[in-house]
């Protein structure tokens, strides 16, 4: 380790101009990245990890930001360079990949052109030479039929493939440092596994260093040699990854780690378990309590779905004739009992959200039976549908867009109560105050607007709103996915508490296997619109039978530094699409009973 | 692509039919009887009856409409009640004038509006941005007739650089033609340039904060490449749509500007026809303008698709 570091950051402080005053968002960061090393910066949103990476590349708006300290990149004093000289560093000495593969490529240029640009800019290649080199790069990132895809546009690629294009672009000039800013956060878990493997392999091949920015402790454990933990703009802990994970000194590090749901941590437990509540000051965790039994099985299920099918027609041609259909939900059946949490898990496009919306008839199902709290859902007229809303409510993923910014929180929560004429304005007020207290907020907050709340608080408000009609079933569609780990843990705990006190039934839709393992009684794994495996949580997680379930679980990164060497084998398999032609006849599916209530689709 | 254009043209037919019904009923609803105007002071009942018969005015209204529409489809827009010239001929005479004026005004407005818009977006919230906005606002608010008269005073009367009025066909004497048209085109362009500038600015602002612009900067591209190639090509989409729509509006003619610079375009033709209750001409002009507008709309959509690889693929 006597080699000079590729990147050396000393006392980095970055400030933004806010309302005429400089406000520091990153304070006094110092670290090195040595040749061939992977360093992870981990932290929750607002911790300053992305700002750190943008500071190193000097990509922040010059007028409204100020970078102080010293940054040495490949021997160059970054902060002393002119903007022109800096352009010779970006994409050349260090390059960057970003979180959103869907929007990080320019939609109107071919991917070939966008990669060639780097080669022409930094290596002085001719167009012809750049083309040949680009094809070689595309092959390197394992894009099938690389040569024929040179002239394709970004929209012709899936998210995972676009991230490969981004990586090819970043590697084009053989940089000494690759800065990866949440490169896998927007990807499905099996695709995430592929991209992580790809980065590891390419790093070995090219001998470059990687600065990896993420909020996901599982990803950190898998990829990083050394880890930096950031909290509110400060570097609270730095060290070899296993040191940080096993013997974290700073209380925040321990708090963060204990809030992370770990796949496989629920063995031997019978019921859903609350997340440990950790004191950020001391880092001490209270041992989580198991939730008492709430499920009333044996009785009539509150929600019974039989052979539900939802398809979306695809039209094309001069007269918009139907040429095919997206088989979003294909012949699924399940029951949900009062007080129970059934989770639907799967990757994007598997039909889990469509299922949730179909049973509420927010989307019109194609066929099948849904019986919810005594209603024959598919037969309801407009009036009946309105009454149905009293029995089933929904909580959405994004608490920033699911609340009307022009409505006070109180108005948002009491609106369903008032619109359904359940009582006087006074009663609505009391109800709202009660609900706010139930979700851990203060009734005094009623007259505030959503922008005054944090993401976690907004999700609590959304939960209070869903509860205002005293529903029996709540469809929680990725309701905790957008939240930071510590907030995620709190909201999950809230849901478990509410289930206990109100005897709610949850249809918990999520892609996050570790959270699902924690909160569910039963789990249904969905793939291409079908349920491939369903059963009690312990049975599905400890004895997965279907190949897709196994694949899904193997892909989940586990925050355990012992798994650092893990390789899943380079693959570029894509998620399959449930688009079918008109004459497609869905095969009749058979299920095999593994143990009591544990059913697996027979291939 | 041909399928797409064909589809769009098919959709345009009902639009045109509805416009034709409007145009036709307008004539029936307007006060004043052209026959009385034609029959002269004596109002001889026989003459009136003869004229009514001649112009099919005694038939039931729907029959009159079908008759009229039949004529239009076969290129017969009727005869001007005033000059006895076929309307089609009148319109075709003025069309090149209007098109030339519209094209020149559009070019000038794009030449001013687009660079100003890009500059204002790139230098957002700086003095340059404020100046560009003030200039744009002035362009929108200064009345055309005032600006026209002032320009004539300054450029033609005082400096004597350009002719104050008149018209020369571009096919006869291109230099003189452009000399006579450049001032009115500029006057028309001021308000358009302001709209183009505002649209370019907001489109550029949207694009400049896009993730792929950050990617382009992270590649080490120069500001010139980032702004002109990566950003502007994307910001162009809404500007193209706006331009085509503005051009469609220009085809309706510019009454005031044409009046001030005495240009024999659509605007003047329309005003004269309305004052003379020369309905056939009004109808002809309105229909032509409508067709022009629809074609420009179609052009906007086609360009939009062509510039957008994602939509291009769906064709």
Query: How does pLDDT run across B16-32, given as a tens digit for each residue?
Result: 889 888 888 877 777 66
Mutate to test the interface with A, among B8, B209, B218 (most CBs of A within 10 A): B218
Starting at the edge strand that comes first in sequence, how are the strands of the sheet with A367-372 ordered?
A375-376, A367-372, A303-316, A321-336, A579-581
Helix (H, G, I), strand (E, B) or coil at A154: helix
Which among A106, A122, A166 has the least Cβ separation from residue B216?
Answer: A106
More confident residue, A81 or A259: A81
Contacts of A419 (CB under 8 A, 6+ apart): none
Residues belonging to chain A with any Cβ–Cβ distance to chain B shorter than 8 Å: 57, 59, 87-92, 95-96, 98, 100, 103-109, 117-118, 121-122, 153, 155-156, 166, 169, 316-318
pLDDT of residue A280: 63
Return the higher-pLDDT residue of A46 and A210.
Answer: A210
More confident residue, A339 or B57: A339
Tell me which residues of chain B have a pLDDT lower than 50: none
Q: Measured between CB atoms, which of B219, B225, B310 is closest to A155?
A: B310
Asked: is A251-391+471-556+570-603 a CATH 3.40.50.300 domain? The reply is: yes
Contact in structure between B114 and B196 (CB atoms under 8 Å): yes
pLDDT given at position A194: 86
Q: What is the location of CATH 1.10.3720.10 in chain B?
A: 95-275
* Partners of B65 in beta bridges: none
With CB atoms and an 8 Å threshold, state whether A90 touches B6.
no
Contact A191, A570 (CB under 8 A): no
Q: Which uninterrupted H or E stretch holds A599?
A: strand A598-602
Q: DSSP for A288-328? A: PPBPPP---TTS--SEEEEEEEEEEEEEETTTTEEEEEEEE
Q: Which two tokens stand for residue A312?
A: 């979306």
Cα B247 vs. chain centroid, distance in angstroms? 4
| B125 Cβ contact partners less than 8 Å away, ≥ 6 residues apart | none
Report the phi/psi class of residue B80: left, alpha or beta, with left for phi > 0 and alpha for psi in -120 to 50: beta
Is residue B108 within 8 angstroms of chain A, CB to CB? no
- Are B214 and A98 a contacting pair at CB < 8 A? yes
Per-chain mean pLDDT for chain A: 88
**In this predicted structure, what is the pLDDT of residue A535?**
93
DSSP structure class, residue A575: P
Contact B194, B114 (CB under 8 A): no
Q: What is the pLDDT of residues A559-572, one digit of tens each?
A: 888 777 667 765 66
Across the range A12-36, mean pLDDT stands at: 92
- Across the interface, whether the CB atoms of A118 and B220 are under 8 A apart is answered yes
Interface check for B127 against chain A (CB to CB < 8 A): the answer is no
**Three-state secondary structure along B216-251?**
HHHCCCCHHHHHHHHHHHHHHHHHHHHHHHHHHHHH
Is the CATH number 1.10.599.10 carried by domain B95-275? no
Q: Find residue A310's DSSP bridge partners.
A: A329
Q: Which tens digit of pLDDT belongs to each residue from A402-427?
A: 899 999 999 999 999 999 988 899 99
Domain A1-87+214-249 has CATH 3.40.1440.60: no
Q: Mean of the pLDDT values across residues A534-556? A: 90
* pLDDT tens string A295-321: 766 678 999 999 999 999 888 766 677
- Is pLDDT above 70 for A278? no
Q: Please give the pLDDT value at position A16.
A: 92
Q: A544: which residues sit within 8 A by CB, 6+ positions away? A: A533, A550, A553
pLDDT at A291: 67
Percent of chain A having pLDDT more than 70? 94
Residue in chain B closest to A87 (alpha carbons) equals B220
Interatomic CA distance for residues A264 and A287, integer angstroms: 17
Q: How confident is the model at residue A19 (pLDDT cuts 50, 70, 90)?
A: confident
Q: Where are the alpha helices (DSSP H) in A504-546?
A: 513-519, 537-542
How far does A52 lie from chain B, in Å, by closest CA? 14
Cβ–Cβ contact B3 with A under 8 A: yes
CB atoms closer than 10 angstroms to residue B205: 16
Residues of B in contact with A90 (CB under 8 A): 217-220
Q: Which has the minimum average pLDDT: A438-447, A474-483, A560-569, B84-93?
A: A560-569
Of the candidates B133, B119, B139, which has an alpha carbon nearest to the alpha carbon of residue B205? B119
Q: pLDDT value at position B173?
A: 82
In this structure, of A32-36, A188-192, B99-103, the range with the lowest mean pLDDT score is A188-192
Q: Tell me: pLDDT of A2 over 60.
A: no
B142's tokens: 């200064």
Query: ipTM of the predicted structure?
Result: 0.80
Question: Is the CB of A107 less than 8 angstroms away from the CB of B308?
Answer: yes
Structure tokens at A342: 């059934």
Angstrom distance (rounded) from CA A324 to CA A313: 6
Inspect the interface and report whether the beta carbons of A155 and B210 lie closer than 8 Å.
no
Please, are residues A522 and A537 in contact by the beta-carbon 8 Å criterion? Answer: yes
Residue spans of the domains in chain A: they are 1-87+214-249, 251-391+471-556+570-603, 405-470
Q: What are phi and psi of B114, to 5 degrees?
A: -70, -50
A1-87+214-249 and A251-391+471-556+570-603 have identical folds? yes
pLDDT at A1: 46
Rounded CA gap, A169 and A161, in Å?
A: 12
Q: What is the pLDDT of residues A216-241, one digit of tens each?
A: 888 999 899 999 999 989 999 999 99
Cβ separation B221–A87 shorter than 8 A: yes
């Amino acid at each position: 380790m006597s080699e000079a570091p590729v990147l050396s950051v000393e006392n980095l402080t970055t400030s933004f101009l806010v309302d005429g005053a400089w406000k520091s968002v990153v304070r006094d960061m110092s670290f090195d990245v040595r040749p061939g090393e992977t360093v992870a910066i981990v932290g929750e949103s607002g911790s300053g990890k992305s700002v750190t990476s943008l500071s190193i590349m000097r990509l922040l708006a010059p007028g409204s930001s100020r970078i102080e300290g010293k940054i040495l990149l490949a021997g160059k004093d970054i902060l002393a360079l002119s903007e022109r000289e800096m352009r010779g560093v970006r994409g050349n000495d260090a390059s960057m990949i970003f979180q959103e593969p869907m929007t990080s490529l320019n939609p109107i240029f071919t991917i070939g052109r966008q990669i060639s640009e780097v080669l022409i800019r930094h290596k002085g290649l001719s167009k012809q030479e750049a083309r040949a080199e680009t094809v070689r790069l595309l092959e390197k990132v394992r894009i099938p039929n690389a040569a024929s895809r040179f002239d394709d546009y970004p929209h012709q690629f899936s998210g995972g493939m676009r991230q490969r294009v981004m990586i090819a672009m970043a590697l084009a000039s053989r940089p000494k440092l690759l800065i990866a800013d949440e490169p896998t956060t927007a990807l499905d878990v099996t695709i995430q596994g592929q991209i992580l493997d790809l980065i590891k392999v390419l790093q070995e091949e090219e001998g470059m260093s990687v600065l990896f920015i993420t909020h996901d402790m599982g990803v950190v454990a898998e990829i990083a040699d050394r880890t930096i933990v950031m909290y509110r703009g400060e570097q609270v802990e730095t060290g070899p990854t296993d040191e940080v994970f096993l013997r974290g000194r700073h209380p925040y590090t321990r708090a963060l780690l204990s809030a992370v749901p770990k796949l496989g941590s629920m063995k031997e437990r019978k019921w859903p378990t609350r997340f440990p509540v950790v004191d950020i000051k001391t880092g001490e965790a209270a041992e989580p309590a198991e939730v008492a039994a709430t499920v009333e099985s044996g009785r009539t299920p509150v929600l019974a779905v039989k052979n539900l099918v939802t398809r979306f027609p695809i039209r094309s041609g001069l007269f918009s004739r139907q040429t095919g259909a997206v088989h979003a939900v294909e012949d699924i059946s399940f029951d949900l009992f009062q007080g129970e949490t059934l989770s639907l898990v799967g990757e994007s496009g598997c039909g889990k959200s469509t299922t949730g919306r179909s049973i509420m008839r927010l989307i019109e199902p194609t066929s099948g039976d849904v019986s919810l709290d005594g209603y024959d859902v598919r037969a309801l007229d407009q009036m009946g549908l309105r009454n149905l809303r009293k029995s089933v409510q929904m909580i959405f993923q994004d608490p920033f867009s699911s609340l009307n910014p022009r409505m006070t929180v109180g108005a948002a929560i009491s609106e369903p109560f008032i619109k359904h004429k359940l009582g006087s304005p006074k009663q609505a007020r009391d109800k709202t105050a009660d609900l706010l207290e139930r979700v851990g907020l203060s009734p005094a907050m009623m007259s505030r607007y959503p922008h005054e709340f944090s993401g976690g608080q907004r999700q609590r408000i959304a939960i209070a709103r869903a509860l205002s009609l005293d529903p029996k079933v709540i469809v929680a569609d990725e309701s905790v996915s957008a939240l930071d780990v510590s907030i995620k843990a709190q909201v999950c705990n809230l849901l478990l508490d509410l289930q206990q006190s109100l005897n709610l039934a949850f249809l918990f839709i999520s892609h996050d296997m570790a959270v699902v393992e924690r909160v569910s009684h039963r789990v249904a794994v969905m793939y291409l619109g079908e349920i491939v495996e369903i059963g009690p949580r312990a049975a599905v997680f400890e004895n997965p039978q279907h190949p897709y379930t196994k694949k899904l679980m193997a892909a989940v990164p586990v925050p355990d530094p012992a798994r650092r060497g893990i390789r899943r084998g380079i693959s570029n398999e894509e998620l399959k699409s449930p688009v079918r032609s008109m004459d497609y006849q869905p095969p009749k599916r058979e299920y095999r009973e593994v143990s009591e209530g544990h059913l697996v689709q027979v291939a | 692509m041909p399928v797409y254009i064909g589809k769009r043209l098919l959709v345009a037919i009902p639009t045109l039919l509805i416009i034709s019904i409007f145009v036709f009923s307008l004539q029936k609803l307007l006060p004043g009887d052209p026959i009385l105007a034609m029959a002269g002071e004596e109002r001889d009942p026989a003459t009136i009856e003869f004229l009514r018969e001649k112009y099919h005015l005694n038939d039931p209204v729907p029959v009159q409409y079908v008759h009229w529409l039949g004529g239009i489809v076969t290129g017969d827009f009727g005869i001007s009640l005033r000059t006895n010239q076929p309307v089609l001929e009148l319109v075709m005479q003025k069309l090149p004038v209007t098109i030339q004026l519209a094209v020149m005004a559009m070019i000038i407005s794009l030449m001013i509006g687009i660079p100003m818009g890009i500059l204002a977006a790139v230098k957002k919230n700086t003095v340059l941005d404020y100046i560009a906005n003030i200039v744009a606002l002035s362009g929108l608010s200064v009345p055309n007739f005032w600006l026209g008269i002032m320009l004539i005073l300054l450029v033609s009367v005082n400096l004597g650089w350009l002719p104050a009025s008149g018209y020369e066909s571009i096919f006869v004497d291109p230099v003189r033609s452009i000399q006579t048209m450049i001032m009115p085109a500029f006057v028309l362009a001021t308000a358009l340039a302001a709209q183009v500038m505002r649209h370019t600015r907001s489109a550029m602002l949207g694009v400049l904060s896009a993730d792929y612009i950050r990617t382009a900067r992270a590649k080490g591209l120069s500001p010139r490449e980032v702004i002109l190639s990566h950003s502007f090509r994307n910001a162009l989409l809404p500007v193209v749509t706006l331009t085509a729509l503005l051009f469609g509006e220009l085809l309706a003619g510019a009454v005031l500007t044409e009046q001030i610079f005495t240009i024999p375009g659509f605007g003047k033709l329309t005003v004269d026809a309305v004052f003379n209750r020369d309905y056939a001409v009004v109808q002809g002009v309105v229909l032509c303008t409508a067709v022009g507008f629809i074609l420009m709309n179609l052009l906007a959509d086609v360009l939009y698709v062509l510039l957008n690889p994602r939509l291009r693929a769906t064709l």
